Amino acid sequence: MVKVKESSGKAKRPLIVMKFGGTSVGSPERMQGVAEILEKHIRDADVVAVVSAMGGATDMLIRAATQASQGMEEPWKGSRQELARRHREVADKLLSAAEQAVVLPRLAEQVKHFEDLCSGFTLLREITPRGMDTLSSLGEVMSATLVSSILRSRGMKSEAVDAVECIVTDDNFGNASPLFDETTAKTRQRLGPLLKDGVIPVVTGFRGATREGVCTTLGRGGSDFSATILGAALDADEVWIWTDVDGVMTADPRLVPEARILPEISYREAIELSYFGAKVLHPRTIQPVMHKKIPVWIKNSFNPSCPGTKIVPAAKNGQAGVKAITSVKDAVLITMNGRNSVSFPQLAARVFNCLHLENVSTLMVTQSSADNVLCFAIHQADLARVKTELEKAFELEMLHDYVGGLEVMRNIAIVVTVGENMKGTPGISGRAFGALGRKGINIIAIAQGSSELSISFAIKSSDMKEAVQAIHEEFQL
Ligand code: ASP
Ligand code: MG
């Protein structure tokens, strides 16, 4: 539990924002677990809960919307039944009769909203980004309604809050960014009075709204981000992300059985780890709490007594060198050769513009100076789009052989070693190289940022497991 702050002699209850992910609210049993966790912690702290949609609901909503826009009615009608059934089951099992009377009509309204939107998409044979955001985040509206009602059924004071009333974002639908000043003002205005009255707000994750009040979403997995946005807005003492794993691990346990939980990592390490394989956190989660230095915990709602991982502004100067290894399996390496016709800056500018146009991010980038060659890795799934875009952009140069054709290496894995204290520790790459060399694993490309927080290696996918194990062993993680 967080230390109690003293202010003017009077003990102040700490404020914790607790986010519960899709698996943590995935069934009636899991929702009951959430209620038990909240029941326990509100004894010593004020809590704002943030909830994701029930596991799988968001995927289903997006699929339904897409099919509707293709003119198909049957599939979304099936999804409608499924949506109603799953939420209804929770209401049947966990709500008091009085709560059922209030909440069942509300859930029915939400399902009706789904139906209206899908009918619209079917008629128009089109779905706009804003339409998609309103629909894809409906799962959060339904789960917040239910969780809050479960808390009331158990005698706690609670109110479901739609984050469109708190989080103000830009209009980049599908991946919106919060406008912090406005968000802070609105959040305090909406949640402040509830907290003062001892009411637990249960806020929808994932969604926000533009200044004009049009619903937006914060990107897939965005409920983590919602939690830290609200935490920063409310000056919370801590943010707890309840998920389905015990914390951030030294490596993926499916690859390395000896992998262990890291009790503490720094903000920057967490960002680095979230960006690659370790899917515990949405990559933008840490940003809102950085200035205020609010600690973020990763905890397991399936195993609440496990302390989890604490993410802190700067890790203590403990272990030197590599702290964790993360990896991405399905990558491809693309090489563009500018020959001597296109300068490197021009080549890079045009290549990255293509990636930007397709909204594709790179996993690693290297340049070899003498011969104007740019090499970068992306997810295999993005390859077709990127290839088309690059071939269009360089059509003329390719025709005249001014630039080499695209060289694409498939079945690539990127293995990344992460650690704040790698900085200033000589010999880390050497040891990693050595460990891979002894296993006969060939390194195809390597990149290290000047921050020295991570070193990335591109290798063959088939070598990935062995490579991660070898590095894990070399650094005795
Ligand atoms: N429900 C959303 C998603 O599946 C947001 C989240 O779970 O964080 O992406
Ligand atoms: Mg998530």
Percent of the chain residues topping a pLDDT of 70: 95
Report pLDDT digits (tens) over 342-380.
888 889 999 999 999 988 989 999 987 666 889 999 999
Label residue 37 by pLDDT band (50, 70, 90).
Answer: very high
Report pLDDT digits (tens) over 275-316.
765 567 888 999 999 999 999 999 999 999 999 999 999 876
Distance 164 CA to ligand 2 centre (A): 20
Is the four-CA dihedral 299, 300, 303, 309 of positive or negative sign? negative
Label residue 207 by pLDDT band (50, 70, 90).
Answer: very high
Nearest to 204 by CA among 194, 195, 217, 214: 217
How far are the Cα atoms of 39, 141, 364 from residue 156, in angstroms, in the given order?
A: 8, 20, 49
Nearest to 341 by CA among 371, 366, 375, 386: 371
Distance 53 CA to ligand 1 centre (A): 6
The atom number, within ligand 1, closest to the CA of 22 reads: 7
By the CB criterion, residues less than 5 angstroms from ion ligand 2 are 21, 221
Residues within a 6 A CB radius of ligand 1: 21-22, 52-53, 58, 139, 205-206, 220-223
Chain centroid to CA 73: how far?
31
Give the pLDDT confidence score for residue 2 in this predicted structure: 58
Report pLDDT digits (tens) over 415-466.
999 988 777 777 888 888 899 999 999 999 998 876 778 889 999 999 999 9
| Average pLDDT taken over every residue of the chain | 92
Interval 213-238 mean pLDDT: 97
Give the pLDDT confidence score for residue 406 in this predicted structure: 86
Distance 476 CA to ligand 2 centre (A): 29
Distance 207 CA to ligand 1 centre (A): 9
Least confident of 132-146, 191-205, 463-477: 463-477
Give the pLDDT confidence score for residue 448 in this predicted structure: 84
Q: Which of 19, 52, 63 to mutate to test the pocket of ligand 1 (most atoms within 8 A of CB)?
A: 52
Ligand nearest the Cα atom of residue 51: 1
Give the pLDDT confidence score for residue 243 in this predicted structure: 93
Is residue 451 exposed (0-12), middle (13-18) or buried (19+ Cβ within 10 Å)? Answer: exposed
How far are the Cα atoms of 275, 390, 422, 423, 455 from residue 450, in angstroms, in the given order?
A: 17, 28, 11, 9, 10
Nearest to 295 by CA among 322, 319, 277, 315: 315
Percent of the chain residues topping a pLDDT of 90: 76
Report pLDDT digits (tens) over 1-15.
555 544 555 578 999
Nearest alpha carbon, ligand 1 atom 8: 221
Rounded Cα distance, 3 and 75, in Å? 51
Interval 67-96 mean pLDDT: 96
Nearest alpha carbon, ligand 1 atom 6: 221
Q: How many alpha carbons fall within 13 Å on the CB side of residue 84? A: 16
Q: Which of 223, 226, 301 to mutate to test the pocket of ligand 1 (most atoms within 8 A of CB)?
A: 223
- Helix segments in 326-427, DSSP class H: 344-357, 383-393, 395-399
pTM: 0.89
Is the four-CA dihedral 249, 251, 253, 257 of positive or negative sign? negative
Give yes or no for residue 143 having a pLDDT over 70: yes
Distance 116 CA to ligand 1 centre (A): 22
Distance 107 CA to ligand 1 centre (A): 19
From its phi and psi, is residue 293 left (phi > 0), alpha (psi between -120 and 50) or beta? left
Report pLDDT digits (tens) over 14-25.
999 999 999 999
The DSSP output letter for 308 is: -
